[in-house]
Amino acid sequence: MPLHLAVNDVDALRERCETAEVRTIRDRPEYERGAVIPSGLWQPLTEPVGRTLTAPSWTPPSTLVEIVRPPEPGEDDQEHLADEMCDPDVQYLGQARAKANMTTTTENYAAGLLLGLHLDNWDKLIHGAKARGRRRLALNLGPGTRYIILGGLDAQAVCRAVHPDDYALRHPHTNDYREHVAAGNPIRVVRVRISPGEGYIAPTEYLLHDGSTERPGRAVRHGLLARPLVPRSPALPHMRRPAGGGCSYAGSPPKHRWASADSPIPILTPARRHPQVNG
Protein backbone atom coordinates (compact mmCIF):
# COMPACT_ATOMS: atom_id res chain seq x y z
CA MET A 1 0.00 0.00 0.00
CA PRO A 2 1.46 3.43 -0.93
CA LEU A 3 2.23 6.36 1.35
CA HIS A 4 -0.96 7.98 2.69
CA LEU A 5 -1.22 11.01 4.99
CA ALA A 6 -4.16 12.24 7.05
CA VAL A 7 -4.97 15.49 5.22
CA ASN A 8 -8.03 17.66 4.68
CA ASP A 9 -6.25 20.50 2.87
CA VAL A 10 -3.92 19.61 -0.01
CA ASP A 11 -2.56 23.16 -0.19
CA ALA A 12 -1.52 22.98 3.47
CA LEU A 13 0.20 19.66 2.78
CA ARG A 14 2.01 21.11 -0.23
CA GLU A 15 3.23 24.06 1.85
CA ARG A 16 5.18 21.77 4.19
CA CYS A 17 6.30 19.07 1.74
CA GLU A 18 8.85 18.54 -1.02
CA THR A 19 9.61 15.48 -3.13
CA ALA A 20 12.67 13.86 -4.70
CA GLU A 21 14.03 10.59 -6.05
CA VAL A 22 16.53 8.49 -4.11
CA ARG A 23 20.00 7.29 -5.00
CA THR A 24 22.61 4.83 -3.77
CA ILE A 25 25.31 6.67 -1.83
CA ARG A 26 28.84 6.17 -3.19
CA ASP A 27 30.82 9.23 -2.13
CA ARG A 28 30.17 9.73 1.59
CA PRO A 29 32.22 7.52 3.92
CA GLU A 30 30.00 8.30 6.93
CA TYR A 31 27.28 6.04 5.44
CA GLU A 32 26.97 2.27 5.30
CA ARG A 33 27.94 0.72 1.98
CA GLY A 34 24.95 0.59 -0.35
CA ALA A 35 22.91 3.05 1.73
CA VAL A 36 20.09 4.93 0.02
CA ILE A 37 19.55 8.66 0.50
CA PRO A 38 17.50 11.39 -1.22
CA SER A 39 19.06 12.71 -4.41
CA GLY A 40 18.99 16.23 -2.97
CA LEU A 41 17.06 17.60 -5.94
CA TRP A 42 14.00 18.55 -3.89
CA GLN A 43 11.00 19.76 -5.87
CA PRO A 44 7.75 21.38 -4.73
CA LEU A 45 4.89 18.97 -4.17
CA THR A 46 2.42 19.36 -7.04
CA GLU A 47 -1.32 19.32 -6.48
CA PRO A 48 -1.88 16.01 -8.35
CA VAL A 49 0.82 14.29 -6.27
CA GLY A 50 -0.58 15.85 -3.11
CA ARG A 51 -3.97 14.36 -3.89
CA THR A 52 -2.48 10.89 -4.36
CA LEU A 53 -0.92 11.21 -0.88
CA THR A 54 -4.26 12.07 0.74
CA ALA A 55 -5.51 9.06 2.68
CA PRO A 56 -8.78 7.56 1.40
CA SER A 57 -11.33 6.49 3.99
CA TRP A 58 -10.34 2.84 3.66
CA THR A 59 -6.67 3.39 4.63
CA PRO A 60 -5.74 0.92 7.40
CA PRO A 61 -4.82 2.76 10.62
CA SER A 62 -1.55 0.85 10.81
CA THR A 63 -0.29 2.34 7.51
CA LEU A 64 -1.48 5.93 8.01
CA VAL A 65 0.88 8.91 8.51
CA GLU A 66 -0.36 11.72 10.77
CA ILE A 67 1.04 15.16 11.53
CA VAL A 68 0.16 16.19 15.08
CA ARG A 69 0.72 18.85 17.72
CA PRO A 70 0.40 17.26 21.18
CA PRO A 71 0.33 19.19 24.44
CA GLU A 72 3.80 20.62 24.90
CA PRO A 73 5.61 18.56 27.53
CA GLY A 74 7.86 20.20 30.10
CA GLU A 75 11.29 18.83 30.88
CA ASP A 76 9.84 16.82 33.76
CA ASP A 77 6.57 15.85 32.06
CA GLN A 78 7.72 13.99 28.97
CA GLU A 79 7.21 10.57 30.51
CA HIS A 80 3.58 11.49 31.19
CA LEU A 81 2.77 12.63 27.66
CA ALA A 82 1.69 9.06 26.92
CA ASP A 83 -1.26 9.62 29.28
CA GLU A 84 -2.73 12.05 26.73
CA MET A 85 -2.97 9.23 24.18
CA CYS A 86 -5.70 7.48 26.17
CA ASP A 87 -3.76 4.27 25.70
CA PRO A 88 -2.41 2.29 28.66
CA ASP A 89 0.08 0.45 26.45
CA VAL A 90 2.00 3.52 25.27
CA GLN A 91 5.48 3.71 26.79
CA TYR A 92 8.04 6.49 26.95
CA LEU A 93 11.29 5.51 25.22
CA GLY A 94 13.57 8.48 25.79
CA GLN A 95 15.25 11.33 23.90
CA ALA A 96 17.96 11.80 21.33
CA ARG A 97 19.60 14.73 19.58
CA ALA A 98 20.33 15.30 15.89
CA LYS A 99 23.07 17.57 14.59
CA ALA A 100 22.12 20.39 12.27
CA ASN A 101 22.22 20.03 8.48
CA MET A 102 22.13 16.22 8.31
CA THR A 103 20.68 14.60 5.18
CA THR A 104 19.57 11.66 7.34
CA THR A 105 19.98 11.17 11.08
CA THR A 106 19.80 7.48 12.07
CA GLU A 107 23.08 5.82 12.95
CA ASN A 108 24.17 2.21 13.20
CA TYR A 109 25.88 2.70 16.54
CA ALA A 110 27.74 -0.62 16.38
CA ALA A 111 29.43 0.37 13.12
CA GLY A 112 29.54 4.10 13.71
CA LEU A 113 27.93 4.72 10.31
CA LEU A 114 24.71 6.33 9.14
CA LEU A 115 22.01 3.98 7.85
CA GLY A 116 20.46 6.31 5.31
CA LEU A 117 16.81 5.75 4.46
CA HIS A 118 15.79 2.52 6.12
CA LEU A 119 13.02 0.24 7.33
CA ASP A 120 12.51 -0.50 11.02
CA ASN A 121 12.34 -4.20 11.84
CA TRP A 122 11.88 -4.37 15.60
CA ASP A 123 8.57 -6.24 15.34
CA LYS A 124 10.19 -9.00 13.19
CA LEU A 125 7.12 -9.31 10.96
CA ILE A 126 6.96 -11.59 7.94
CA HIS A 127 5.85 -10.21 4.56
CA GLY A 128 2.15 -10.89 5.00
CA ALA A 129 2.01 -9.20 8.42
CA LYS A 130 4.29 -6.24 7.69
CA ALA A 131 1.43 -3.77 7.22
CA ARG A 132 0.24 -4.46 10.78
CA GLY A 133 3.43 -3.38 12.55
CA ARG A 134 3.59 -0.70 15.21
CA ARG A 135 3.68 2.94 14.22
CA ARG A 136 6.06 5.41 15.88
CA LEU A 137 5.27 8.84 17.23
CA ALA A 138 8.23 11.24 17.16
CA LEU A 139 8.10 14.77 18.55
CA ASN A 140 10.36 17.67 17.64
CA LEU A 141 11.38 19.29 20.92
CA GLY A 142 13.30 22.02 19.11
CA PRO A 143 14.83 24.41 18.85
CA GLY A 144 15.30 23.80 15.11
CA THR A 145 13.06 22.54 12.32
CA ARG A 146 13.12 18.83 11.63
CA TYR A 147 11.90 16.77 8.68
CA ILE A 148 10.60 13.26 8.24
CA ILE A 149 11.43 11.66 4.89
CA LEU A 150 8.97 8.97 3.78
CA GLY A 151 9.17 6.60 0.83
CA GLY A 152 6.24 6.19 -1.51
CA LEU A 153 6.77 2.46 -2.06
CA ASP A 154 5.88 0.15 0.80
CA ALA A 155 7.97 -2.71 2.18
CA GLN A 156 5.69 -5.47 0.92
CA ALA A 157 5.81 -4.20 -2.68
CA VAL A 158 9.62 -3.91 -2.62
CA CYS A 159 10.00 -7.36 -1.06
CA ARG A 160 7.83 -8.88 -3.82
CA ALA A 161 9.88 -7.12 -6.50
CA VAL A 162 13.25 -8.20 -5.10
CA HIS A 163 12.24 -11.74 -4.08
CA PRO A 164 9.50 -12.76 -6.55
CA ASP A 165 9.84 -16.48 -5.88
CA ASP A 166 9.77 -16.59 -2.09
CA TYR A 167 8.63 -13.19 -0.83
CA ALA A 168 5.88 -14.78 1.29
CA LEU A 169 8.57 -16.40 3.47
CA ARG A 170 10.66 -13.24 3.81
CA HIS A 171 10.90 -10.52 6.44
CA PRO A 172 11.04 -7.23 4.47
CA HIS A 173 14.28 -5.43 5.21
CA THR A 174 16.26 -2.26 4.45
CA ASN A 175 18.50 -4.33 2.18
CA ASP A 176 15.51 -5.02 -0.08
CA TYR A 177 15.21 -1.29 -0.73
CA ARG A 178 18.94 -0.99 -1.29
CA GLU A 179 18.93 -3.82 -3.82
CA HIS A 180 15.85 -2.40 -5.54
CA VAL A 181 17.43 1.05 -5.96
CA ALA A 182 20.85 -0.33 -6.96
CA ALA A 183 19.12 -2.21 -9.78
CA GLY A 184 17.96 1.11 -11.23
CA ASN A 185 14.40 1.16 -9.95
CA PRO A 186 13.11 4.60 -8.96
CA ILE A 187 11.61 5.36 -5.57
CA ARG A 188 10.17 8.77 -4.80
CA VAL A 189 10.29 10.18 -1.28
CA VAL A 190 8.43 13.02 0.39
CA ARG A 191 10.07 15.32 2.93
CA VAL A 192 7.60 16.71 5.48
CA ARG A 193 8.53 19.70 7.65
CA ILE A 194 8.04 19.14 11.39
CA SER A 195 8.30 22.40 13.31
CA PRO A 196 9.20 22.57 17.02
CA GLY A 197 6.25 21.34 19.07
CA GLU A 198 4.91 19.20 16.22
CA GLY A 199 5.28 15.48 15.68
CA TYR A 200 4.46 12.68 13.31
CA ILE A 201 2.96 9.24 13.68
CA ALA A 202 4.27 6.95 10.95
CA PRO A 203 4.44 3.24 10.06
CA THR A 204 8.21 3.03 10.17
CA GLU A 205 8.09 -0.78 9.98
CA TYR A 206 6.29 -0.42 6.64
CA LEU A 207 7.71 2.62 4.83
CA LEU A 208 11.25 3.67 3.94
CA HIS A 209 12.05 6.65 6.16
CA ASP A 210 14.48 8.69 8.21
CA GLY A 211 14.66 12.00 10.00
CA SER A 212 16.52 14.94 8.49
CA THR A 213 17.86 18.32 9.58
CA GLU A 214 19.35 19.04 6.18
CA ARG A 215 18.71 22.75 5.99
CA PRO A 216 21.26 24.69 8.04
CA GLY A 217 20.15 25.49 11.57
CA ARG A 218 20.49 24.55 15.21
CA ALA A 219 20.58 21.00 16.52
CA VAL A 220 17.19 19.59 17.44
CA ARG A 221 15.96 17.05 19.92
CA HIS A 222 13.16 14.68 19.04
CA GLY A 223 11.12 12.13 20.89
CA LEU A 224 9.67 8.86 19.73
CA LEU A 225 6.50 7.11 20.83
CA ALA A 226 6.33 3.57 19.51
CA ARG A 227 2.61 2.85 19.27
CA PRO A 228 1.51 -0.69 18.44
CA LEU A 229 -1.65 -0.90 16.40
CA VAL A 230 -2.11 -4.44 17.66
CA PRO A 231 -2.28 -5.69 21.25
CA ARG A 232 1.23 -6.11 22.57
CA SER A 233 2.61 -9.61 22.12
CA PRO A 234 5.66 -11.19 23.76
CA ALA A 235 7.04 -11.45 20.23
CA LEU A 236 6.97 -7.67 19.82
CA PRO A 237 9.97 -6.19 21.66
CA HIS A 238 10.25 -2.63 22.97
CA MET A 239 11.62 -0.03 20.57
CA ARG A 240 15.18 1.23 20.89
CA ARG A 241 16.09 4.81 21.68
CA PRO A 242 15.79 6.92 18.50
CA ALA A 243 18.69 8.55 16.70
CA GLY A 244 17.82 12.16 16.18
CA GLY A 245 16.75 15.18 18.19
CA GLY A 246 13.36 14.76 21.35
CA CYS A 247 11.37 12.26 23.70
CA SER A 248 10.08 8.66 23.13
CA TYR A 249 7.14 6.13 23.97
CA ALA A 250 5.40 2.47 22.98
CA GLY A 251 1.32 1.58 22.69
CA SER A 252 -2.69 0.57 20.46
CA PRO A 253 -4.99 1.99 17.82
CA PRO A 254 -5.08 5.78 17.64
CA LYS A 255 -7.25 7.22 20.42
CA HIS A 256 -5.39 10.47 21.01
CA ARG A 257 -7.31 13.74 21.41
CA TRP A 258 -4.70 16.24 20.28
CA ALA A 259 -5.21 19.36 18.20
CA SER A 260 -3.85 19.34 14.69
CA ALA A 261 -0.62 21.05 13.70
CA ASP A 262 -0.81 24.72 12.69
CA SER A 263 -1.56 23.78 9.09
CA PRO A 264 -5.01 22.14 8.91
CA ILE A 265 -3.72 18.59 8.71
CA PRO A 266 -6.01 16.79 11.14
CA ILE A 267 -5.63 13.59 13.08
CA LEU A 268 -7.61 10.66 11.72
CA THR A 269 -8.70 8.21 14.39
CA PRO A 270 -10.09 5.07 12.76
CA ALA A 271 -11.60 2.82 15.40
CA ARG A 272 -10.92 -0.52 13.77
CA ARG A 273 -8.45 -2.72 15.67
CA HIS A 274 -6.26 -5.26 13.97
CA PRO A 275 -6.07 -8.81 15.30
CA GLN A 276 -3.08 -9.77 17.38
CA VAL A 277 0.01 -10.59 15.36
CA ASN A 278 2.89 -12.73 16.51
CA GLY A 279 5.86 -11.62 14.40
pLDDT digits (tens, 9 = 90+) for 164-223: 999 999 999 999 999 999 999 999 999 999 999 899 999 999 999 999 997 755 555 555
Q: What is the pLDDT of residue 174?
A: 98
For residue range 125-142, list pLDDT tens digits in order: 999 999 998 888 888 988
* Cα–Cα distance, 21 to 38 (Å, whole number): 6
Asked if residue 61 has pLDDT above 70, the reply is yes
pLDDT confidence bin for 122, thresholds 50/70/90: confident
Burial of 171 (0-12, 13-18, 19+ CB in 10 A): middle
The listed range with the strongest mean pLDDT (10-14, 92-96, 140-144, 160-164) is: 160-164
Q: What is the pLDDT of residue 242?
A: 31
Which of 198, 44, 37 has its CA nearest to residue 102?
Answer: 37
Model pTM greater than 0.85?
no
* Cα–Cα distance, 177 to 121 (Å, whole number): 13
* Averaged confidence pLDDT in the chain: 78
The Cα diameter of the chain in Å comes to 52
Strand 64-69 relative to strand 259-260, pairing = antiparallel
